[in-house]
Chains A and B, each alone.
Chain A
Amino acid sequence: MNKSISYLIYCLMFLAIFYQSKSQNFSITTKPTNILNKGYNIQSLAIDSIRRFISKDQVDKAIEEFNKLEIWAIKNDDMKLRYIITLNKLIISHNNKNLDSSYKNNLISIIKILDDNKFYYIKAQALEILANYYFSTKQYASSLENYINSYNIYTKFSIYEFPQKSEYLSEIANRYYYFRDFETAKRYYLEVWNSIPIEKINSNITILNSIGLCYSHLNEFTSSNYYFIKGINIANQKKEETWIGILSGNLGTNYFKENKIDESIKYFKICIELHTKNNEKKDLAITLSKYGAALLSQNKFHEALDAQLKSLNIIHLKNFNEYPITNIVFLNVAKAYAANGNFVKAYYYLDSAYIAKYNYDSDRNAVFFSGVQHKIDLEKHKAEIRITEDEIKQQKLLRNLTIGGFIVLLFILGIFYIQQKKYRKTQAKLFLAEKLAVLGQVSAGVAHEVNTPLSAIKSSAEESIIAFPEIIDELLWITKNLNENDKVLLFEFIALANPASKTLTTKEEREIKKRINQELLELGIQNSRFISEKLIQVGIYEVNSELIKLTKLPKFEKIILFVCNLLNQQKSNLTIQMAVNKASRIVKALKTYLHTSSSEDMELINLKDNLETVLTIYQNRLKQGIQVIKNYDDIPDIYGYPDQLNQVWTNLIVNAVQAMDNNGILTITLKSDSGFVVLSIKDTGKGIPKKIQSKIFDPFFTTKVSGEGSGIGLDISKRILIDHKATIFFDSIENEGTTFYVNLPIKS
């Protein structure tokens, strides 16, 4: 049976190839003439192959011809034809051998290639062959699945390309029927029935019979009877007696099931008559047995037993030991014997019936389970597809989420980074702004501090310039009018005078001036006040013997003014030097203060110098009423950012000075204490009220009048000190003062 199905399929396949080539204008007649001349024609080739295939003796010859065709296909780069040939060769080469798994694997790989190349039609054919393979190896579920797959592909082609549609459908239906899935089988049969052209209806009694059987199995006897009777009518027209017999038998069985015994007996009789006439022994045996059962239910015991024995006779004669038949017949025989009182026989056949029934059931169950298995497989497959789809969806979702998340993360990181950068920039700006703000407060003094020495330099230089020609004139006069002794006396006096010998306060100078003026007056010097003033100016603080000698000279006033003029040159230069030192000290401090370290690394800092910078810049402010006491111990240099620390000291000192209202004592202490340098800045100001002590490090907290302080000085100071791993804290007593302590680690 398997083989016959295979042959059928091959036929169908080659038919399909024929139709395909026709529909796609792929006709060998339009191909190179040499092939035509040699008589290569796909259709004839196919038929030839099948013949040789069937005859089995000329397989090699068939393969040879396929090889020839394949060469042609290669030459013409006809991939489709090549695959067809490959497929055929595969089938033929396996013909003599058992169909094994290598055959299956080859088929599957070819199907894969066909699918990749989108040769769907050939793929459908290959699937069909695969389905047959599965069927022949009793893998019914896989067979059906491939059949359906194949069918699904075929249906995408036109009726011309797929003329065997109804055969296909009925084949599928047969499979389902075989699996006892009558509902599905019925559906496919009905589809076949509906797809059959009207002119062909008459030749399809078998479909009607199948539909009827399906309905019957589904206990829908009205529908079942309808199709059976329809079939009988057509069979009557066609005089298909065998079919009339079969259909009558089935109809009778229906009536029997419906307990319409008279009618069932009537149809069974027709069936028996026709089967007897046409020698359909197997069907006759079953029908006789069923007929007997019907008679039995009418209590016609003898007739019933007679019919059963006839049936049994046929089975024994023809050796129909098939369970589907025997399990029915034996049971009926047993029942008939029992009804006739022959219990020994009855038991014997009952036993045989049970065995047959058992075997029949196990066979049927095997197939049934195979069907169930198929359904499970199908559902599993669907579920797998769903799961795969879900998984893909999930993966997609996950991937999208991941990508989305990643993008969001990147975005957030970007924002964070920008914010951080902004924050750092802002912080740096804030630091600088605060630094400049504090500088602004002290810069009033700074301008003054720079302008003061500048003005001193200017006036002294101008004085020197004006004095110089005067001195030349006076020198000329002296060389002309003074004798050698007087000249020596004069220059000795000039040489001994030291304008920079000591610096006295203006008050002291005034006292000395008074005394000199008095002494000069006593010496009878005219214009003594002016002369004494000049002497003081150049640092001559006493009337010594040389001066007294000089006073005796004629034109003493002229001479002494020359001396003062000359010495004042030196005094001016010294003044300039002092002023330059002062100015450069301030400028240097400013530079140090404003310098923002470009390097990220800390550097070694001498805290004393660091503090001195601040004090120099702040000097002007401090001198207006603040006494600064410096208690500096010897302390090691520490690592830090000098410009930032400057800012901290400035803040603390400015705050202290403001707390003291520019009047008080500022004590700065530096000492080292177990790995730390402790710097304290103590003021004698009004102190920090208890209630605001906790807030002073908060940004924008200020007690100063708006515009005087930003309120971020201590906040920034604290941040700078945190960068230095330093701590800051304070003691404050109201109306007594505040002390800020900063603990800087020596090794940072």
Chain B
Amino acid sequence: MENGVIICVDDERVVLNGLQSQLGREFGNNFPIELAESGEEALDLANALIESGKNIPIIISDELMPGIKGHELLIQIHKISPATYKILLTGQSNLDAVAQAVNLANLYRYMSKPWESQDLIMTVKEGIKGFYLDKQLEEQRKLLEIHSHLFSLFK
């Protein structure tokens, strides 16, 4: 579970503060909570994290932001980190944006503001669990592949 970072993106600092408090209490011990005030910053951050060998199990993003919109950011993140569980957390969004995020970014959840803290915690928890299960599955599949490869060599 080490090396995982949770990223929160919102142009409103007050929202980021709220997210930081809630997620920090629940997951802070195991997962650093990184905040970004724009899509651009979030992308830079994600790239940097991935480069330094970190995982991004969860990214929570607002939709309406100056510059890159939430769904566009998630599509970009999907390209660099397809396994990441992506959550769109927004006060208002048009259906197109959500549909694009679902289709092109494999959106995990759409949450509306204001959110239920319990709902958020559970969602993130499940996301993290899913992310690592996926990761484990992938690793085991790779192991299996190696095994079968070795096995075929013996044959």
Which A positions have Cβ atoms within 8 angstroms of B? 444-445, 447-460, 462-463, 466-467, 503, 505-507, 509-510, 527, 529-530, 533-534, 537, 568, 571-572, 575, 578-579, 582, 620, 623-625
Contact = CB atoms under 8 A, between A and B. Distances in A.
Given A459-B115, A571-B21, A623-B11, 16 more contacts: A445-B64, A445-B92, A447-B92, A451-B91, A451-B113, A452-B10, A452-B14, A452-B91, A454-B113, A455-B114, A458-B115, A530-B29, A534-B24, A537-B20, A575-B18, A578-B13
19 contacts: A447-B92, A448-B92, A448-B113, A451-B112, A451-B113, A452-B91, A452-B113, A455-B15, A455-B91, A456-B14, A458-B18, A459-B18, A460-B17, A462-B22, A463-B21, A537-B20, A537-B24, A575-B18, A624-B69
Contacts of A579: 14
A625 B69 CA distance: 11
Q: How large is the interface on B (under 10, 10 to 19, 20 to 34, 35 or more residues)?
A: 35 or more
Contacts of A530: 28-29, 32
Nearest to A581: B14
Contacts of A624: 64-67, 69
A459 B21 contact: yes
Nearest to A532: B32
Contacts of B25: 463, 466-467
B32 A529 contact: yes
Contacts of A457: 114
Contact of B92 (A451, A462, A463, A623): A451
Nearest to B63: A448
A506 B35 contact: yes
A457 to B, nearest CB: 8
Contacts of B92: 444-445, 447-448, 451
A453 B35 CA distance: 17
A510 B41 CA distance: 11
Given A534-B28, A579-B14, A620 B64 contact: yes
A572 B90 CA distance: 20
Contacts of A449: 91
* Leading 3 A-B pairs by shortest Cβ distance: A459-B18, A451-B91, A455-B114
Nearest to B19: A459
B37 A505 contact: yes
Given A455-B15, A506-B16, A533 B91 contact: no
Contacts of B45: 510
Interface string B1-40: 0000000001111111111111011001100111111000
B117 A459 contact: yes
Contact of B15 (A456, A505, A568): A456
A578 B66 contact: no
Contacts of B69: 624
Nearest to B94: A444
Contact of A509 (B14, B35, B94): B35
Contacts of B90: 448
Contact of A455 (B28, B29, B94, B115): B115
Nearest to B28: A530
Interface in B63-115: 64-67, 69, 90-92, 94, 112-115
B39 to A, nearest CB: 11
A448 B92 CA distance: 5
Contact of A571 (B17, B22, B66): B17
Nearest to A576: B14
Nearest to B112: A451
Nearest to B35: A506
Contacts of A456: 12, 14-15, 17-18
Given A509-B35, A625-B66, A578 B18 contact: no
Interface string B103-144: 000000000111101000000000000000000000000000
Contacts of B24: 533-534, 537
Contacts, number: 118
A533 B33 contact: yes
A463 B18 contact: yes
A430 to B, nearest CB: 27
Nearest to B42: A506
A557 to B, nearest CB: 10
A572 B21 contact: yes
Contacts of B19: 459
Given A575-B18, A578-B14, A448 B64 contact: yes
A625 B64 CA distance: 11
A575 B112 CA distance: 19
A452 B12 contact: yes
B113 to A, nearest CB: 4
Contact of B66 (A448, A451, A623): A623
A447 B94 CA distance: 12
A252 to B, nearest CB: 132
Contacts of A454: 91, 113-114
Contacts of A462: 22, 117
Contacts of B62: 452
Nearest to A459: B18
A452 B41 CA distance: 20
A725 B18 CA distance: 50
A626 to B, nearest CB: 9
Contacts of B113: 448, 451-452, 454-455
Contacts of B35: 506, 509
Contacts of B37: 505-507
A447 B91 contact: yes
Given A445-B64, A509-B35, A582-B14, A458 B94 contact: no
A455 B10 CA distance: 12
A215 B15 CA distance: 132
Contacts of A505: 37
A578 B34 CA distance: 22
Contacts of A455: 15, 18, 91, 113-115
A457 B113 CA distance: 11
Contacts of B12: 452-453, 456
A620 B11 CA distance: 11
A669 B25 CA distance: 48
A458 B17 contact: no
B140 to A, nearest CB: 29
Contact of A533 (B10, B32, B114): B32
Nearest to A568: B21
B18 A507 contact: no
Q: Which of B62, B92, B117 has the most CB of A within 10 A?
A: B92
Contacts of B11: 623
B34 to A, nearest CB: 7
Interface in B35-66: 35-37, 41, 45, 62, 64-66
Q: Which of A456, A457, A624 has the most CB of B within 10 A?
A: A456
A55 B28 CA distance: 153
A453 B114 CA distance: 8
A511 to B, nearest CB: 12
A726 B19 CA distance: 50
A459 B22 contact: yes
Given A456-B14, A533-B28, A510 B115 contact: no
Q: Which of A452, A457, A578 has the most CB of B within 10 A?
A: A452
Given A506-B37, A533-B33, A620-B64, A575 B114 contact: no
Nearest to A450: B91
Nearest to A580: B14
A505 B112 CA distance: 25
Contacts of B16: 506
A697 to B, nearest CB: 31
Nearest to A507: B41
Contact of A448 (B13, B17, B18, B91): B91
A560 to B, nearest CB: 13
A639 B93 CA distance: 39
A199 to B, nearest CB: 122
A476 B125 CA distance: 31
